[in-house]
Amino acid sequence: MVDIHRNPTRTVRIGTVSIGAGHQIAVQSMTATSTQDVEATLGQILALHEAGADVIRVAVDSSKDAEALAEIRKLLTCKGVRPNLAVDLQENYRLATQLAPHVDKIRYNPGHLYHHEREKPWREKVKFIAGAAAEHGCAIRVGVNCGSVDPAKAEVFDADDSISPMLESAVEHCEALDELGFTQYCVSLKDSDPRKVIEVNRRFAEARPNVPLHLGVTEAGMPPEGIIKTRIAFEQLISRGIGDTIRVSLTVSNARKPEEIEAGRSILADIEAGRVRSVVDYGLSTLNIISCPSCSRVENEAFIELAEDVRRMTEYARDHQITIAVMGCRVNGPGETDDADLGLWCGPNYVNLKRGTEPLGQFSYDEILSKLKSELDQLIEARGDAVAG
């Protein structure tokens, strides 16, 4: 066994589990069903709980979602099951008061606080969330994502610097919560590039060593590639004592969501045993397909099949250094495809195709693969000409 000296963070309690301060690293997952489908979401929570999930996150985007989650908690109690539930607030921060009595942790994204009641300062919204959490004994996660970073932070830094806005946003929100006297919070800083995940979390751990960190590679993609990318980030951070809870985000069908827990446990066991397989450098010289984990924000389950079809269709381009992003929803999809050479984000009936930040149009699920192939071929040809020139 490897003796890893963990970062000296404080303890944060999430229901029956504690993270930080040397506690065992907790493993999380997230439901992929529509939250308002009570039966399906209940079934997935039970499956993840049985698989050993320490915390299970559920996305809530409306009052109806919140009502459904309250019903789900009631049904779980009737079954004598008490999983630790986290709720993923989307744009409507006011749902915190409706949800806090039924969950153990509230996750909010600083970048999403600008979407609702735009005229209100974000600090007032954070105070509102913290008040609801404190009243009901909930923890908070400040969840910073590369594709939906606080716009006020993004405009301060160069366009090619995606790490500094994330770091500044996280530190600022920690200071805001500290000023409110709320300390039961952790932070996550996620990107689809493992190198950036390593760098931004390393820098945050230096700046705020007392704050527990939730680690993850967002839009890691399908297994096995998604597990490999995640493993690289986790190995490099956890072996340095950084990280207190983890999530392996995989694009898999609903029935396979427990594989996220299995993958997380396997990675942790390997790190503890010294079976570290990676190096920090993850500069891919080959095709890189990133895709977000399936979750309840996905409006068409055909997204998962599409991600698999994209991987198969693009096999011929595997030796080209091109990134293709396949995102499953309108919440993160538009922003989190910007850094890819070609990006797809999925709506209920259409798939939006992009070349970098440039929209190329909406196409049906039946049309999108041929449109993507055409753009990919043009990109390969253009880069070939550039190299030849």
> Quick one: tokens of 177?
């919560």
**Mean pLDDT on 137-162:** 90
- Same domain, residue pair 246 and 100: yes
Give the confidence band of 280 by pLDDT, cuts at 50, 70, 90.
Answer: very low
**Structure token pair of residue 215:** 């680690």
Of 273, 308, 328, the residue that ends a domain is 273
The predicted-structure confidence for 19-34, as pLDDT tens digits, reads as follows 999 899 999 999 999 9
Q: Which of 173-187, 213-227, 282-296 has the lowest mean pLDDT?
A: 282-296
Same domain, 65 and 170: yes
Indicate which CATH number applies to the domain containing 247.
Answer: 3.20.20.20
Strand partners, 87: 58, 106
CATH number at residue 322: 3.30.413.10
Q: Mark which of 242, 273, 304 sits at the end of a domain.
A: 273
Q: Domain for residue 3, yes or no?
A: no
Distance (Å) of CA 261 to CA 94, 171, 350 = 31, 29, 31
Classify residue 278: in a domain, yes or no: no
Picking from 227, 244, 273, the residue at the C-terminal end of a domain is: 273
Helices (H), ranges, the chain: 38-50, 63-78, 96-99, 122-136, 151-154, 163-179, 194-207, 225-238, 259-273, 302-313, 333-336, 368-388
Asked if residue 131 and residue 44 are part of one domain, the reply reads yes
Residues 93 and 195 in one domain: yes
- Whether residue 389 is predicted with pLDDT greater than 70 in this model: the reply is no
Q: What is the pLDDT, as a whole number, of residue 284?
A: 55
Domain membership of residue 70 (yes or no) is: yes
Residue 5 within any structural domain of the chain:
no
The answer to whether residue 328 scores a pLDDT higher than 70 is: yes
| Total structural domains within the chain | 2
In a domain, 191, yes or no: yes
Do 65 and 126 reside in the same domain of the chain?
yes
Residues 257 and 297 in one domain: no
Q: Are residues 184 and 331 in the same domain?
A: no
Q: Is residue 7 part of a domain?
A: no
Range of the domain at 357: 288-388
Q: Could you tell me if 335 and 265 lie in one domain?
A: no
Q: Are residues 220 and 89 in the same domain?
A: yes
**Residue 96 banded pLDDT, cuts 50, 70, 90:** very high
DSSP state of 116: S
